[in-house]
Amino acid sequence: MATATRPLDERVRKTGFLRKLLNRPELGAVAGAALVFAFFAVVAGDRGFLTSTGTISYLEVAAQLGILAVPVALLMISGEFDLSVGSMVGAAGVLIAIPIAEFGWPLWAALLLAFAVALVVGFLNGYVVVKTGLPSFIVTLASLFILRGATIGFTRLITGRTQVGGLKSETEGSFLTALFAGEIGGVPVSILWWVGLVALGTWILLRTSFGNWIFGTGGNAVAARNVGVPVNRVKILLFMATAASATLLAAITVLDAGSADVLRGELREFQAIIAAVIGGVLLTGGYGSVIGPMFGALIFGMVSQGIFFTGVNTDWFQVFLGAMLLIAVLVNNFIRQRAARSR
Amino acid sequence: MTTTKMPTSTPLVEVQNISKYFGQVIALKDISMRVGAGEVMCLLGDNGAGKSTLIKTLSGVHGHDEGKMLIDGEEVRFNSPREALDRGIATVFQDLAMIPLMGISRNFFLGREPTKGFGPFKRYDSAHADRVTREALKGMGIDIRDPSQPVGTLSGGERQSVAIARAVHFGAKVLILDEPTSALGVKQAAVVLRYIARTKEQGLGVIFITHNVHHAYPIADRFTILKRGRSYGTFEKSDVTREEVASMMAGGEDLENLSSELAEFERTDREEAKDRHDGKRRTRET
C-alpha cells in the first residue's frame, strides 16, 4: 500500500500482510486443504495416498462435487440456495439414459433434452423465488422432492426399474462420450471440467459487471435494485446455472458408468453447500469466492478418499464433514465481522 | 402554471399540489415545493409527517395520485427509480445507500460498471474504477486509503459521503438525501453537512430530509415543513429563526409541554439519586 508516501491518517491502523490475508474469503479453505493433505500424507502416505493413482482418485471425487460447487457458490453469494441440485443430477441422468436406452435416441439429442429440461427447471426455481419472495430454501426444498419423486415415478413407469443400464454399447466411441467421460493423459476430463469451471466462475465473479451484480444482489438486494442492478435476472440466471451444472455432472457420471440411477446425486445439494461454506462463502450472501469452494471440494475429496487409504472405517467420514462445516462457519463469522466492522 | 412563484429561473424540480393515497390513508395532501440549482431545500417534519412518501414519489419508487411533478419545467411521471435517475434525480437513502461487504470502488460503480475489451473478453475495469473512485472522493475532500476495502470499514459519515459523491459523479442534478445525518455523531454529521455544502456549490439542487433543525438550519436556503401529510408552509431562511423552525416543526405547544415534562424528570432523577446516595452512606455506616 502507498500509505507510507502519504501523510498518515491518525485513524488508519497499519495493516500487515497477514491481516490482509486473513480478510480473504478463501483463506480458511486453503489452510484446511493443506492441513488435510499433510495429515493424510503422513498417515496414509505409504498406502497409496501420494501416488498418482491416489491423487487422481481424490481429485476425481473433488471434481464431481466441485463442478456443482461453482454455480452453487455464485448463487449463495447472490443470497439464495438451491437444494434441488442433487435431485437434478438424478433427473438429468435419467433424462440422458432413457431416451438412448428405451427410444434409441442419439446421444447428442439426449444431452440436449437433459440440458433443456435443466434450464427450464432452473428458470422455474428462480422465477418462483423472485416472484413470490419466498425463501429459496423452501422453494428449492420443494423442488428437491418434486424432482426426485418425478424421476423415480417416470423411470419406473417407463422402464419398470429404477436403474437404466446398458448405455456403454450405444455411447462408446462417441466424441461426446470423450468430452464428458474421457481421459487426457490419464487425467479424467471431469477434473478438467472442474478446473475450467472454477476459472470461468472466478472470471465472471471478479472480472465482469455480472459478477459485481452478484455481490450487490447478495449484499443488499434493495440497494442494488435502487442503482439499477437487474436483481431478479441475476438470481434466475444463477438458478439456471446450478441446474445446468447438475446436468453436466449427470452427463459425466452416466457416460462414465454407462448407466443412470434415479437416486444418483442424493445429498449432493448439501455437500455442495458445505464445500461453498468451507470455502468462505457467506450463508447470508454478499461475500465469497469461487476459488474457496474449489478448496472446499478438494478437502471433501481428500478426506473421503484419504479415509479409505488409511483403512479407517469410512462411516466416520460424515462426522468429519459435519465438524469441518461447523468450524468453517465459525471462522467465516469471525472474518465477516472483521470485514464489516464499522468504527 | 404560475411563473410568479419563481421569477428568476425554472426550478430543477417542482411539485405542485401533489397528493398520495394508500387506500384510505391520506399520506400526502396538496404538497407544493421546488428546488433550484445551487439551492438546499430542507424538508422538515416529525415521524409520520409524510417525508418518506414525498421523497419516494420524487425518486420514482411510487407514483402520485394528484398534482403535478415538473423537471426543468416539464411535467413527468416516474415508474421506477431508474427513470428518476435518468432524469438526474438521485436519492441517497439512509441505510440502503451502500453494500457493506463490497469494496468502495465496486460499490461506487455498482450498476454502471466500467468495462474494457470486446465481446467475450469484455471485463470489469477495476483499475479505472479504483482510480476514478479515489479521484471523485478526493474532489469531495475524502482521502481513502484503499478503494478496494469494504465499505463496512468506513464510518457512517464517510459512507454517506461516498454515496453522495457517487450520485454527483454520475451526473445527478438533484440530490435527495434521506436523513443523512440522523444516525451520525456530531463530528460525522459535520462531515456530511460540509459535503452537502460542497454539492450545492457545484450547482446541484439538494433536497435534504431531516428532523434535526440544528443540522438543517446552517445549510438550508429554504424550509418546507410537513405535518401529518400536509404542508405547514415554506419559509425562506431570511424570514425565520432556528427556534421558530424548531417550534413549527414540533408544534409549539407540544414542545413547551415537553420541556416542562423534562424538567419534572430531571427533578425526580435528582431526588432519586440523592436517596440512593443517602442509602448507600447509611449501609456503610452500619
Give domain status of residue B129, yes or no: yes
What mean pLDDT is predicted for residues A317-330? 82
- Beta carbons of A342 and B100 less than 8 Å apart: yes
pLDDT for the residue A8: 45
CA gap A312, A157 in Å, rounded: 41
CA-nearest residue to A3 within chain B is B145
Ranges B48-62, B88-102, B241-255: which has the least confidence: B241-255
pLDDT at position B218 is 85
pLDDT attached to residue A75: 97
Query: Chain A: which residues have CB within 8 Å of chain B?
Result: 1, 3, 6, 9, 12, 203, 206-209, 211-213, 215-216, 219-220, 222-229, 282, 286-287, 336, 339-343
The C-alpha of B50 sits at a distance from chain A's nearest C-alpha, in angstroms, of 21
Within this chain, do residues B163 and B271 fall inside the same structural domain, yes or no?
no
Q: How confident is the model at residue A156 (pLDDT cuts 50, 70, 90)?
A: very high
**B185 and B274 assigned to the same domain:** no
Chain B partners within 8 Å of A222 (Cβ): 96
Q: Confirm whether B4 is domain-assigned.
A: no
Q: Is the pLDDT of residue A235 over 50?
A: yes
pLDDT band at B4 (very low <50, low <70, confident <90, very high): very low
Higher pLDDT, B167 or A275: A275
Kindly state the DSSP code that residue A343 receives in the 8-state scheme: -
The mean-pLDDT minimum among A77-81, A121-125, A288-292, B244-248 falls in B244-248
Identify whether residues B138 and B263 lie together within a single domain.
no
Q: Which of A216, A228, A282 sits opposite B99 (nearest CB)?
A: A216
B261 and B243 belong to one structural domain: no
Please tell me whether residues B284 and B162 are part of one structural domain. Answer: no
Verify that B149 and B264 share a domain, yes or no. Answer: no
- A22 vs B168, which has greater pLDDT? B168
Domains and CATH numbers, chain A: 51-331 (1.10.3470)
- Residues from chain A that touch B153, judged by Cβ atoms under 8 A, are 339-343
**Cβ of B86 under 8 Å from any chain A Cβ?**
no
Residues B155 and B278 in one domain: no
Do B237 and B278 sit in the same domain of this protein? no
Rounded mean pLDDT of chain B?
Answer: 81
Instruction: Convert the pLDDT of each residue in A62-73 to its tens digit.
Output: 999 999 999 999
Count chain A–chain B contacts defined by CB atoms under 8 A. Answer: 93
Residue A101's pLDDT is 92
The answer to the question of residue B7 being in a domain is no
Q: In this structure, are B26 and B130 located in the same domain? A: yes
Mean pLDDT on A103-127: 96
Render pLDDT for B185-215 as a digit per residue (tens, 0 to 9): 777 788 788 888 888 888 889 998 887 888 8
The reply to whether residue B93 touches residue A226, judged by beta carbons under 8 angstroms, is yes
Compare all CA atoms of chain B with the CA of A5 and give the residue at the minimum distance.
B145
Tell whether ipTM is more than 0.95: no
Q: Is residue B3 part of a domain?
A: no
- B146 and B282 co-located in one domain: no
Check whether residue B187 and residue B278 sit in a common domain. Answer: no
Report the CATH number that the domain containing residue B160 is assigned in CATH: 3.40.50.300
Per-residue pLDDT at A1 exceeds 60: no
pLDDT of the residue at B7 = 44
Answer whether residue B95 is part of any domain: yes
Nearest 5°: the CA angle A64, A70, A72 is 100
pLDDT at A269 over 70: yes
For chain B, percent of residues with pLDDT exceeding 70? 89
Q: What does the DSSP assignment read for chain B? A: --STT--SS--SEEEEEEEEEETTEEEEEEEEEEE-TT-EEEEEE-TTSSHHHHHHHHTTSS--SEEEEEETTEE---SSHHHHHHTTEEEE-TTTS--TTSBHHHHHTTTS--EESSGGG-EE-HHHHHHHHHHHHHHTT---S-TTSBGGGS-HHHHHHHHHHHHHHTT-SEEEEESTTTTS-HHHHHHHHHHHHHHHHTT-EEEEEES-HHHHHHH-SEEEEEETTEEEEEEEGGG--HHHHHHHHH-HHHHHHHHHHHHHHHHHHHHHHHHHHHHHHHHHH-
Cβ neighbours for A304, distance < 8 A, ≥ 6 positions apart: A58, A61, A314, A317
Give the tens place of pLDDT for each residue, B95-145.
Answer: 666 888 888 999 999 888 888 888 778 888 888 999 999 888 887 777 777
Per the structure, the complete domain to which residue B285 belongs is given by 255-286
Long-range contacts of A327-335 (CB under 8 A, 24+ apart): A328/A28, A328/A29, A328/A32, A328/A274, A328/A277, A328/A278, A328/A280, A328/A296, A329/A277, A329/A283, A331/A28, A332/A25, A332/A28, A332/A277, A332/A280, A332/A281, A332/A282, A332/A283, A335/A22, A335/A23, A335/A25, A335/A27, A335/A28, A335/A280
Within-domain flag for B77: yes
What is the domain count for chain B? 2
Mean pLDDT, chain A, integer: 88
* B1 inside domain: no
In a domain, B82, yes or no: yes
Higher pLDDT, B137 or A17: B137
Q: Decide if B9 contacts B175 (C-beta within 8 A).
A: no
Same domain, B282 and B164: no
Least confident of A144-148, A187-191, A202-206, B49-53: B49-53
Q: For the purposes of burial, counting CB atoms within 10 Å of the CB of A53, is it exposed (0-12), middle (13-18) or buried (19 or more)?
A: exposed
